[in-house]
Amino acid sequence: MRLAHHGSSNRPVLAYLLVLVLNLYPTSTLASEQSEDILNPLRVLVVGDSITHCNEGDFTWRYRIWQWFQSQPTTTTTTSETQQEQQQQQNLTIDFVGPYLGTAEPDLPSPPPRPRLYSLPKEDPPLRINGKYATDDFTNSNHFAISGRAVAQVKDTIQPVVAEFSPDLILVLLGFNDLAFGFGNASQTLENTKALIENSRSARPNVAFVVGNVVQRTWTGREDLVKLTDEYNGLLREAVAGWSLEGSPVVFAPVREEYDCGPQYTDNCPAAHDGLHPSELGEYQIARAFSRALVSGLQIGSTPLEVPATIPPRPLPKPENFEIYSSTIGVTAIWDKVFGAYTYDAEYRINGSDTNPPLHFSPTNVRANRWDTHWAVPKDTYDLRVRPIAGNRKGEWTDWQTAVTTPDTASAPEDVIVKATATGIDLNWTIPFGSSATLFNFYYWDVDVNCTNMLLGPTAAFEGTSGHIDGLVVGHQYNLAVESWNDAGAGLPRNVASAIVGSPETVAVPRDSVCPPKESIGAPPSTDPINPDDPQPPPKSSL
């Protein structure tokens, strides 16, 4: 077996650890194949979650490390047939491999979708893998990174990917979702990371790994996440060296130490556009962490990536062709897509006049270049403006435009009968005479859980005149509301009776959930500065 593989990219980079090859094959075999091998690309598989996948309009840290690979000198020490060491200029190339090419693309503009029927199984959302990059230069952008993924999941899917794409080097940046969303504690996440490496080796034994640790996000009140991340990062640093095998080294990348974010920041941090995901600066910092590991741990490259002193800001121009008009859902607005916008802010006012100030609503966020009223009342006057958003990077507002609502939605049923069962709630209702409604969507929320409300709770949609919601918490009170759907969309909701699960004869008086005061959440922990020039800085228990 040779390190080199055929690929589509032909860009010069530093040779991949010929020392490993020398240890694995007789010198005569290497010498006879070397002239062919060095013309073929080093195959690199990047594995990650949304921090690696990123959104349309991002450069991504994958692009920054790809640039770094190409910038490195290509002089390495090899052994000739006469066993004499010599310096050679090697014409090697790099080939990023993997099943996906793009970033996460934004939503397409469309009317509000109808709710899924409660009786239907939940479906996984489609993969968002067709988004474009901030540059057209990233022509070799293959990867295996999907937003939302946990190492607990990827360990079970990595083997066929490695078998298909035969990488020589795997760069891994996973673990945040595991620790933040309950896939596993620090020890379990470490074991899953080790399993990912072992499962990769089952498909390709002589593959090298660089494993990044988990970044800390800005302070959100979750002291448990701060501690879990510190614990995992400490365990990972200690364990990585013991995972190396002959011909398959594993190296630690100090991503958390390079990434300028963490609980010492209570709002924005320099490395992230939303407190977690990389900004233009953060992309460079993650790439630098991996380049440090490649240079110091695998002798790939001569010097780590240097983060530029000045990084151009993301362009987010004012949306063009902004238009607002009356529609069957109330009012609809459309505008041209702004490349690089993740979402759009839509700010609106209702029924303003010279003598009567309007109801002014803070900007709502929409994922596509379209906005529709929700639960519109007939003949209301809406003033609206929009601007593009990419995390904490905000573009310019459009001018205000005005339209009057003309909804053709259906009224909610008035006679809903609510009855608690041992584990859920039975619902019965009558469809109003002449109604165009074809679906009835019930909001239900547990008021015995802190800080819940109608819009934060789940929904259950039914056709016909009855339904059952199951799997609820026995003894907890649930408030309910219902809206009707027709071809135009959702009509105004109506509150219905509440129920206490497990008490079939009880119809409860609706009440609100209680939120604890903000000061009970706690203060962010203090932190110590990190020396970014330390190639392997010690773990920081306070970070």
Do 396 and 457 reside in the same domain of the chain?
no
* CA–CA distance, 234 with 151 (Å, rounded to integer): 17
Does 523 reside within a domain? no
Which pLDDT belongs to residue 526?
Answer: 46
Is residue 206 in some structural domain? yes
Mark whether 512 and 386 lie in a shared domain.
no
Amino acid at 133: Y
pLDDT at 525: 54
**8 A C-beta contact, residue 386 and residue 319:** yes
Residues 94-104: tens digit of each pLDDT: 999 999 999 99
Q: Are 104 and 128 in contact (CB under 8 A)?
A: yes
225 occurs within a structural domain = yes
In eight-state DSSP terms, residue 521 is G
Task: Give the contacts of 538 (CB within 8 A, at least 6 positions apart).
Answer: none
Residue among 527, 523, 45, 525 nearest 256 (CA): 527
The pLDDT score that the predictor gives to residue 74 is: 61
Specify the number of domains making up the chain: 3
Question: Are residues 249 and 368 located together in one domain of the fold?
Answer: no
User: Could you tell me if 469 and 377 lie in one domain?
Assistant: no
Residue 121 neighbours by CB distance under 10 Å: 5
SS (H, E, C) 135-204: CCCCCCCCEEECCCCCHHHHCCCHHHHHHHHCCCEEEEECCHHHHHCCCCCHHHHHHHHHHHHHHHHHHC
| 91 in the same domain as 221 | yes
**Same domain flag for 423 and 375:** no
Within-domain flag for 88: yes
Based on the fold, state whether residues 473 and 513 are members of the same structural domain: yes
* One domain for residues 56 and 188: yes
Number of residues written out for the chain: 543
Q: In this structure, are strands 330-334 and 370-372 parallel, antiparallel, or unpaired? A: antiparallel
Q: Are 392 and 274 in contact (CB under 8 A)?
A: yes
What is the extent of the structural domain holding 352?
323-404
The rounded distance, in Å, linking the Cα atoms of 42 and 12 is 10
Q: How far apart are CA 223 and CA 263, in angstroms?
A: 9
| 313 inside domain | no
Domain identity same for 38 and 180? yes
What are the b/e assignments for 126-137, b being 16+ CB within 10 Å? eebbebbbbeee
- For position 451, which CATH number holds? 2.60.40.10
**Tokens of residue 219, six digits:** 């302070």
For the chain, what is the radius of gyration of the CA atoms? 28
Q: What is the DSSP string of 205-221?
A: TT-EEEEE-PPP----S
Residue 506 lies in a domain: yes
pLDDT reported for residue 355: 66
- The CA–CA distances, whole Å, from 481 to 445, 446, 514 equal 9, 12, 19
CATH number of the structural domain spanning residue 142: 3.40.50.1110
Is there a single domain that holds both residue 378 and residue 233?
A: no
Q: What is the pLDDT of residue 514?
A: 81
Say yes or no: 374 and 233 in one domain.
Answer: no
- Residue-level pLDDT at 354: 64
User: Is 67 part of any domain?
Assistant: yes
Q: Is residue 315 part of a domain?
A: no
Question: What is the mean pLDDT, run by run of 10 residues, along the chain of 543 residues?
Answer: 36 39 34 40 97 99 96 57 38 84 98 97 93 97 98 99 99 99 98 99 98 98 98 99 97 99 97 99 99 96 95 98 99 99 96 74 90 96 96 97 98 95 97 95 94 90 98 96 98 95 82 69 45 35 28
Q: Looking at the structure, tell me whether residues 289 and 350 fall in a common domain.
A: no
Which residue blocks in 366-419 are alpha helix, DSSP H? none
Q: Do the beta carbons of residue 218 and residue 262 sit within 8 Å?
A: yes
